[in-house]
Each structure stands twice: as C-alpha cells, then as structure tokens.
Amino acid sequence: MITRKSRSVRTRLTLVAVAVAALGSLLVTAVLTFSLYKVANGLRTNEVAGAVLDIIQLDRRAETPVVLPQGDAAGVQVLDAAGRVVASTASLTGAPRMADFTPPDGKARADREVCDIPAFPGRCMVVVAFRVYRPQGDLLVYSADDVVPWYVQPEVFALFVGASLLFTALAGFGTYHLVTRALRPVSDISDNLAEITATDFGKRVPVPRARDEVRHLAETINQTLDRLEAAAEQQRRFASDASHDLRSPLTAMRAQVEEALLYPEDTDWNAKAAAMLGSLDRLQAIVSDLLMLTRLDAGTPALKERIDLSDLLRDELDRRPRRVPVIRKLTAGLVVEGDRLRLSRLLTNLLDNAERHTASRITVSTAEEDGMAVLEVLDDGEGVPRDQWEIVFRRFTRLDASRNRDAGGTGLGLAIAREIAQAHGGTLGLAESSQGARFVLRLPLIR
C-alpha cells in the first residue's frame, strides 16, 4: 500500500527526474544540432566554392561566356580588374555587384555571410570570393548560395527532438517505477507503525532484504519499539506492584477500623492506634519512595556540591543507632560531586537493606580505586543468589527471604539507590563475598 505522503514523494522525484532528463536532452540536442550545423555549413561553403572553381576552369580555357551556367550555386558573378560585372549566371543578370569584400593580399579565396543582397532580398547567403590571376588584369569571381538554417534540415531536427522526447519519457517512466519500488518498504514501515498503539507494542515493522539505509531505518525502529515495549511493560508492572503495595496498608487499616467499630467496648484504642500508625508509616514510606522515583525518572536536576563520601557515610551512621554493630573502615579525602540529600538517601537505603538481612554485624568501608570512590556495604546474612543479583534492583522486588524477615520493606530501596548512583555517573551492584551480601557503590572522584 502506497500512502499519500509516499505518492507525493514519488511524484516530486519523478518530476525532478523528468526535468533533469529534459534538460539533458535539450543540451544534447543543442550540441548535436550545432555540430551538424557547423558541418553542413562547411559543406555548403565548399559547394559554393566548387561552383567558382568550375567558372575558373571555363576562364582558363578562354570560354567564359557572358551568361554562365547556373550550376549548384544560387548565383555567380565575374568582375574585371575595374570592378565591372563581365559575366554572371542567369539569376544575376543585370544585378549589381553582390559583395564588396575581396580576398586578402596573398590569398586567393575569402568567404562571408551576407544578407539582403539586392538580387536576393530577405535572404542570407554564403558568398565566396576568388581572385583569378591574369596578365591583363585579375578577375574577381563571387559565388553565392543560401546559408544552412540553424536546424540544418527539418527532418533531422525532428529526429533529434523526437529522440529527446522519447528519452525524457523513458527517464520519467523508469524513475517512477524505481521510486515506487524504493518507497514500497518505507510505505510498509509506515503502515505497520500506524497499526501500533500505546497498548500494543507487539508488532514490528518489516525489514527489507537489501542492506541499505531503509533496512537500517527499519532495524532502528524495531529496536526503538523493543525499548518502548520494555518500558511500557515496566510501567504496567510498576503500576500493578504500586497498587498492590499501597492497597496492603490501606486494607489493614480498614480492617482495624471496621473491627473497632463493630466491637467498640472491647477495643483497646491505644493498641489499635499504634497498629494503625504502623500501617501509616508503611504507607508513607511507599509514597515517599514513589515520589523519589518520579523525580529520578523525570530527570529532575540535582544540586551539585563537593562531598566527602566518608564524612557523609559517618554522618548517616551516627544519625541513628542500628540494631546490630556496624564496623567502619573509612578512608578520608574521597571527594565526589553530587546532591547531598540524594546521596544520603542512597546510603540510608543500603544500610537499611543490610540491617534487615544481616545476622550479627554490618561492615562498611570506603577506598579509592582507579579514580573512583568505592563504598562497600557487607552483611553476614544469607546473601543473594548469583542469578538474582540484577533482580533485586528491580522496582517492588523483594525476595522470599526478605518478605519472611521483614514485611515492612517497600521493595523500592535498592532500585532508588541504583538510579541515584547512575544519576551521579556511578554504578551500584553486587559482588562476590564469602558470606552475606556485598553491595559495591562506585562514584567518580573529583580533585
């Protein structure tokens, strides 16, 4: 199917090809016509000169009559040394001298184009002048005939024009079909794109066999559609998980309120309020994490300041006590550039995650490695299986062990931490450890 836009492009390209072909044909026709004109004009001049040679031969035999034979020329005149017409063809009988030029000194021949000769009014003639040397006085012989027209002959010119028109038509026809064939893959791509909707990214555009720009375009579009489908699926999964996690504390609070309303005399309102505060805390944590992810996804610009990573980590560790000992191995002078609040959130998420999964202690260390500030957070818990190292950084992902140990996690902490690290030009991932989980953060150092 050829779309309206494709038809417009095809028409424009065909018109351009026709214009170029017509211009080329016009140029070739002009060159050929001019070349043929030069040849024909030379031949005509030689024919006129040949008529003069015939007269010279008659003169040499002393047989030059007053009325000369017509021959191939339109007219011939013979003038004596005094410039009087002494002989001519019948077409010039009684006519005055047809031209006033003579061959230059040392030469016997000259030719010119002369228009409006009295004997040939309204016509342009090729006139050849010969000087015939004689002891009693030189003779001047003029021979004239019509010039060759610029188109040489109507038949020849018509042939050239017909060939040019045929070439132009063939060029337009060929371009039309070539452009149609070339644009067909583009039209197929356009048609398939038009059928793709925001809720259905499953379709892909056809990839042409030819390895050209159109194939590269189709492959790029399919890669883009793959990314869009993955992003859409992530958004759907995110919305579903967010709805589920938000519904859980709301459901719990509703059940508590309904139970209290049904049995008000048996309700311990202080205990009930404390339980509801727990659900509210979880709800607030989820909303706070969702707002942070929204800002990160939107690319909200962060503040940039010089921060000593070890000092920032020390402040986070001193801010509140942990339920397990934290062993510190900090290296001073690791200065990075970033947003203090967001980096604090990153460190807090890593420490909270380690605290939920550790058995007896947490070890944090900082060091410099290859121009990067490296932070490691190690717990001595059950660890994370190697095949789930990337899964734990997905949004709303909580492993079974995590759910069993701590049902209050939002499943967004590690996802937020990684996105903050990437926004600061760094990385966050898991590394091998002999026991527990070892999270490694790398941020570029500044000097």
Listed ranges 137-141, 279-283, 378-382; the one with the highest mean pLDDT? 378-382
108 falls within a domain: yes
SS3 384: coil
Per-residue confidence (pLDDT) for residue 6, from 0 to 100: 54
**Mean pLDDT, the chain, whole residue set:** 79
Domain boundary among 278, 297, 316: 297
Q: What is the CATH number of the domain that holds 142?
A: 3.30.450
Give 160 or 60, the one with higher predicted confidence.
160
Give the residue among 156, 158, 163, 168 at the shortest CA–CA distance from 35.
Answer: 156
**Per-residue pLDDT at 403:** 44
b/e sequence 232-264, b meaning 16+ C-beta within 10 Å:
eeeeeebeebbeebbeebeebbeebeeebeeee
Say whether both 37 and 70 belong to one domain.
yes
Domain-located, residue 207: no
pLDDT digits (tens, 9 = 90+) for 87-127: 888 888 888 888 888 888 878 888 888 888 888 888 888 88
Verify that 337 and 289 share a domain, yes or no.
no
Residues 17 and 123 in one domain: yes
Q: Are residues 22 and 115 in the same domain?
A: yes
Closest-CA residue to 340 (of 306, 298, 293): 306
Please tell me the least confidently modeled range out of 6-15, 140-149, 189-198, 433-442.
6-15
- Of the ranges 138-152, 163-177, 324-338, which is most confident? 324-338
Is the model more confident about 77 or about 441? 441
Q: What is the mean pLDDT of residues 51-69?
A: 60
Residue after which a domain boundary falls, among 155, 177, 204: 155
Question: pLDDT tens for residues 170-225?
Answer: 877 777 777 777 677 777 777 777 777 666 667 787 888 777 777 888 888 888 88
Residue 206 forms part of a structural domain: no
Q: Is the pTM value of this prediction over 0.85?
A: no
* Domain-embedded: residue 272: yes
Q: How many domains does the chain have?
A: 3
Spatial contact of 95 and 115, defined as CB atoms under 8 Å apart? no
Q: Which domain holds residue 146?
A: 12-155
Q: How would residue 244 be classed by pLDDT, with cut points 50, 70 and 90?
A: low
pLDDT at 62 (0 to 100): 47
pLDDT at 342 over 80: yes
Whether residue 228 lies inside any domain: the answer is no
- Residue 443 is encoded by which pair of tokens? 């941020």
pLDDT in tens, 157-167: 788 788 888 87
Domain termination site, one of 112, 132, 155: 155
pLDDT beyond 60 at 40: yes
In a domain, 186, yes or no: no
Same domain, 316 and 385: yes
Do both 332 and 292 map to the same domain?
Answer: no
Kindly tell me if the per-residue pLDDT of 86 is higher than 80: yes
Instruction: Tell me whether residue 213 is in a domain.
Output: no
Q: Binning pLDDT at 50, 70 and 90, where does residue 327 land?
A: very high
Same domain, residue pair 323 and 440 = yes
- Same domain, residue pair 363 and 428: yes
**Three-state SS letters, 251-271:** HHHHHHHHHHHHCHHHCCHHH
| Per-residue pLDDT reduced to its tens digit, 1-34 | 445 555 566 677 677 767 777 777 777 777 777 7
Q: Is the pLDDT of residue 435 over 80?
A: yes
What is the percent of the chain where pLDDT is above 70?
A: 81
In a domain, 322, yes or no: yes
Do 310 and 439 have their domain in common? yes
CATH number of the domain to which 388 belongs: 3.30.565.10
Q: What is the pLDDT of residue 254?
A: 83
Burial class (CB in 10 A: 0-12, 13-18, 19+), 407: exposed
Residue showing tokens 């990153």: 346
- The reply to whether 346 and 412 lie within a common domain is yes
- Provide the pLDDT for residue 291: 73
What would the mean pLDDT of 400-426 be, rounded to a whole number?
A: 72
* Residues 267 and 343 grouped into a single domain: no
Same domain, 342 and 432: yes
> Residue 337 pLDDT > 90, yes or no?
yes
Kindly provide the residue ranges of all beta strands, DSSP E only, lying in 198-339, ordered along the sequence: 305-308, 326-329, 335-338
Radius of gyration of the CA atoms of the chain, in A: 51
Tokens of 181: 């064939």
Q: How confident is the model over 254-285, as pLDDT tens digits?
A: 888 888 888 888 778 888 788 778 778 777 77
